[in-house]
Chain A
Amino acid sequence: MTEEAAPPLELRGISKSFGGVAALRDVDFVLRRGEIHGLVGENGAGKSTLMKIIAGLHGQYDGRMAIDGRPVHFRSPREALAAGIGMVHQELSVVPDLSVAENVYLGQQPTKGGIVDWRAMMDGARRHLASLGIDVDPGARMGSLAIGLQQLIELARVLFSGARIVILDEPTSALSPPEVQRLFEVLRGVRASGRSIVFISHFLDDVLAISDTVTIFRNGRLIATEAAGTIDKGWLIQRMIGRGHEELEGSYTGAIALYSKPDAPVVLDVRGLAAGRAFADVSLDVRAGEVLGIYGYMGCGLIELARTLFGKLRADAGTMSIGGKVLRPRSTAEACRAGIAFVPESRRSMLFHTEPVYKNMSISVLGRIGRLLLRPSVEKDIARRHVQSLSIRPPTVETLLGSLSGGNQQKVALAKWLTWPPKVLVLSEPTRGMDVGAKEDVVRIVKGLREQGMGVVVLSTEPETVLSLADRIVVMKKGRIVHEFAGRTVSKDQLLEAA
């Protein structure tokens, strides 16, 4: 009987804590040759920590790691890469101003007599990309390519630098369904060549579609590892959250009923709005006490539309009116005064990480608290009210924002508009990258605002988000509104089909 070869990657009894808080407890993890291994769990469940240990980003941990049966302990990403472990992060690390070939060969250009051998590099890159089934001109400027293609090229670079184990962190979050399919094809090719892939994602459908094996984490523990063919989404969600999830489950699978409110006054009226190449001829209205969902793929103009509504981008054409008053905001301050509030998709770009929670909440209402002078006690009182009503953890207003979890940061971002509610609240990707529990909290908060009569616009590339929040849904495609769902039921399939 032949002993089966040692697995490419094996971890035993891995534990890791940050300042006394356990992030991983006694985790055993095995990655097999030619396997795509899905990793799921809520934010903070421990999957990122484990991957960072594997990729050499966390040098300090307890437990043993072995590559092909040889014990290793990486103290830097360089060591991990040398041992054949590469990682493609959610935020790509490509160089947009260089060519595709230069990106593939980043840091290891072929040279002839000390001079870069361009021909060898172009040919090599073309061959390497073709072997992965990626059809792209190696001379093209990286930044001119679609994000999905850039991601594939980064994956190609990681493989090209010798990685036999590739960790993909949320690879499908920015991709349209055709791009996801193309990524999957490439991944299957990589698998066929005997290399192994760890696929971390919040998108359970994607995980189930591509993985051979799925591992679930919760609270720093490995809960289960199962063959993907034997399980379904409900089974995964149950193990991920370990509590009731009916509402969420409903929005994932079933159809939801939409309610329109034809008699409520229109608070936001947009006619023929256009901005550059991003979008054109966008007309929509939002009534008081209504949540309008706008759904579309990444790059369809959603992000630009949200910014234009808030005066960050200037519209080229069209009109906008708030509560009947015509407005052409030239600055965010002007939009804010007119009664529009905005929460952008990136928490980093809307919060002050080195400032306490209360300053983050008061920043947009300082003018109402005092014209000239600050009144910190009033600021803190207001912040305490929000912290309590939104159950923000930890429940203190002096905590530095940066030490809060993503979900709690998102609540702070929402809270800053709740003190004096605006007429219209524009939310871009309000639940992106959040765990299930935090998503439910956001849904609850937005529904509460709707009850108060606020008009809410939710823009998202995630159908679940739009479906779980909206009363009425419009679909955007390539910068134009192509479909509207109102007063009837709609399912995820229908949305995807329309976009």
Chain B
Amino acid sequence: MTAMRVFLRNQMRIIAPFATLIVLVAFFCLTSGSFASLDNAANILTQISVTGIIAVGLTFVILCAEIDLSVAAIANVTGIAVAYFTLQEGYVNIANVPLPGFAAIILALIGCFMLGLVNAAGITLIGIPSFIMTLAMMQIGAGISALLVRGQIAYAVPDLVSLLGAGRVAGIPCLVLVAAAFLLAGHLVLTYTRFGRYVYMVGGNREAAEYAGVNVKLVLGAVIVISAMCSGVAGMLGVAHFGSAQQNEFDGYLLDAIAAVVVGGTSLFGGRGGIGNTIIGLLILGVLNNGLDHIQIDSFLKILIRGLILLAALIINVYVQKVRESA
């Protein structure tokens, strides 16, 4: 009996979000005729893929008890950059620099890597709190995006990007496969590598990690750069998926990505959670967003409902943390 309770208590972090997901799915299956179909399941997966790629990097950051508010802005810059270096149709009024596809992709990746590096330097070398540093980077990213497109919209992206972002393989959207690959890779790194262990330890007790000789700054810098790279890839594929590159295209993704990680049960205090949690969080968000479209509901009310669900998840997150600490 006690053993069972201890087990349940230890697994609360995964059980609570999983139960939420089951309840949501059951609710929408019962209330909507069109929700429960294979097509719709594929829809949901596609809808959460861009968020999913961003959330992989963000999971690393939040596990270290840091935050990255610049993910959406970096996604936007990178998506715009890859279009900027691609030959656009004549009617697109952007002073762009057409390059071969692979060069455009590499330049875009270098771009987001550099932005991540600036974040990392600000946080680890100068000592700016990640919340503030990435808030500044959010603005810088938006600024670069604005300068590149100057209010215009670009459409063309390199072939590889448009294949991965908008193509299908054996009927399955490539975007879903890429997101799955990122999630899998993130999980493997966190679970089976030395770096992954360091991420958990730095998040669990930063001082102790430092006293154990772990290079804490290197780990923090690395997770910030990983987050920027994931955002960059999400941005490029997102542009292909949406079919256009423009200012403010990814604005909603910052909140969605943070929500996915936290709703899934990864601790905001660091050290607890993982990609498994993030996957459940993504599914909760995806089911919620999609399901609310399938039932008759005031579309303005939807925003409020999303907010309330996020609040509930945060309460559970903090509560589970307290239960663990008192255990």
Interface residues, chain A, with chain B CB atoms under 8 Å away = 19, 310, 312, 331-333, 335-337, 341-344, 349-355, 359, 363-364, 366-367, 370-374, 416
Contacts and interface: CB of A to CB of B under 8 A. Distances in A.
Contacts of B218: 333
Given A333-B214, A354-B324, A372 B208 contact: no
9 contacts: A19-B2, A332-B213, A333-B213, A333-B218, A352-B205, A352-B271, A355-B201, A370-B194, A374-B192
Contacts of B208: 349-352, 363
Interface string B206-250: 011111111111100000000000000000000000000000000
Q: Interface range on chain B: under 10, 10 to 19, 20 to 34, or 35 or more?
A: 20 to 34
A416 B283 CA distance: 40
B193 A373 contact: yes
B197 interface: yes
Contacts of B187: none
Enumerate the 5 nearest inter-chain pairs by beta-carbon distance, A residue then B residue, closest first. Answer: A336-B213, A333-B215, A364-B212, A363-B212, A349-B207
A2 to B, nearest CB: 49
A337 B216 CA distance: 14
A344 B211 CA distance: 8
A350 B217 contact: no
A124 B201 CA distance: 49
Most buried by B among A19, A331, A343, A371: A331
Interface in B163-202: 192-194, 196-198, 200-201
B192 A364 contact: no
A52 B207 CA distance: 29
B211 to A, nearest CB: 5
Contact of A342 (B205, B211, B216): B211
A351 B271 CA distance: 13
B276 interface: no
Contacts of A355: 200-201, 204
Judged by DSSP, the binding face of B is helix
A342 B212 CA distance: 8
A335 B213 CA distance: 8
A374 B197 contact: yes
A352 B270 CA distance: 12
A366 B194 contact: yes
Contact of B272 (A337, A354, A363): A354
Contacts of B272: 354
Contacts of B198: 366
B187 to A, nearest CB: 14
A350 B200 CA distance: 15
Contacts of B193: 372-374
A353 B205 contact: yes
B194 A332 contact: no
A62 B201 CA distance: 41
Nearest to B217: A331
Contacts of B209: 363
Contacts of B325: 354
B201 A350 contact: no
In the complex, which of the residues A363, A371, A373, A416 has the most CB atoms of chain B within 10 Å of its own CB atom?
A363
A209 B204 CA distance: 43
Interface in B29-71: none
Contacts of A336: 212-213
A373 B204 CA distance: 20
Contact of A367 (B194, B196, B211, B216): B194
A315 to B, nearest CB: 17
Nearest to A340: B213
Contact of A349 (B201, B211, B216): B211
Contacts of A366: 194, 197-198
B207 A373 contact: no
A332 B211 contact: yes
Q: Which of B210, B215, B216 has the most A CB atoms < 10 Å from its CB?
A: B210
Given A336-B212, A341-B213, A366-B194, 14 more contacts: A331-B215, A332-B215, A333-B213, A333-B214, A333-B218, A344-B211, A351-B205, A351-B208, A352-B201, A354-B324, A355-B204, A359-B201, A364-B212, A370-B194
A355 B197 CA distance: 11
Contacts of A372: 193-194
A162 B244 CA distance: 71
B194 A371 contact: yes
A174 B16 CA distance: 44
A312 B210 contact: yes
B194 A363 contact: no
- Which residue, A333, A370, A371, has most C-beta atoms of chain B within 10 A? A333
A448 B55 CA distance: 49
B211 A312 contact: yes
Contacts of A332: 210-211, 213-216
Residue among B197, B200, B207, B212 having the largest count of chain A Cβ atoms under 10 Å:
B212
A350 B204 contact: no
Interface string B300-318: 0000000000000000000
A355 B271 CA distance: 9
Determine which residue in B205, B207, B211, B214 has the highest number of CB atoms from chain A within 10 A of its CB, and name it. Answer: B211
A137 B125 CA distance: 40
A181 B215 CA distance: 44
A342 B213 CA distance: 9
A370 B193 CA distance: 9
A398 B216 CA distance: 25
Contacts of B205: 349, 351-353
Nearest to B194: A366
A374 B201 contact: no
Interface in B267-291: 271-272
A371 B197 CA distance: 12
Contact of A364 (B200, B204, B213): B213
Contacts of B271: 352, 354
A95 B35 CA distance: 56
Nearest to A346: B207
Contacts of B212: 336, 350, 363-364, 416
A363 B201 contact: yes
B214 A363 contact: yes
A342 B208 CA distance: 11
Contacts of A353: 205
Contacts of A373: 192-194
